[in-house]
Structure 1
């Protein structure tokens, strides 16, 4: 029988340390072939697909205000909790990924 940490490591990927991000900050990371944007808001961590659904732009380079990330290319905005497109030019949502914090390690499940 495997331990809880072994189960966690088999399903989740450690992408950062809690100290890598301040509140209202985003960080771009790679999980295998997938670009992921990691966010910290009010001490909580969120993760979405790292590329805007409207045009090829890295969301982690955008402007984070509260739980909305603004794409740096055409100012489309997305809710980082749900992936929902909040305004044009984006009309398609982005994928959101579960996040877990274990100690100071931040894990994402893609």
Structure 2
């Protein structure tokens, strides 16, 4: 099982074993990760699951598609490594992925 590490804006780390096929958001919700609310339930219709992806994983998670990019316009403090965690599907290739939640979501 891949391990995803969720990092709060203050640096608190939460490594969590994730299931292949789930999204980074689903794993966060199931494990009560603060800062990921997922108000739309993963439908890419809000920006409450916004995360910053560690730079070394940007090629593996890929760039946001048009719908996701549109939703990121509603997020605060968007950066080049911003993604919606509902759009990142977990696979063995993402083992070790580290994502940080923005301060504005806490």
The TM-score bracket by the shorter chain reads: under 0.3
TM-score (norm: length of structure 2):
0.27
The higher relative CO (CA closer than 8 Å, separation ≥ 6) is in 2
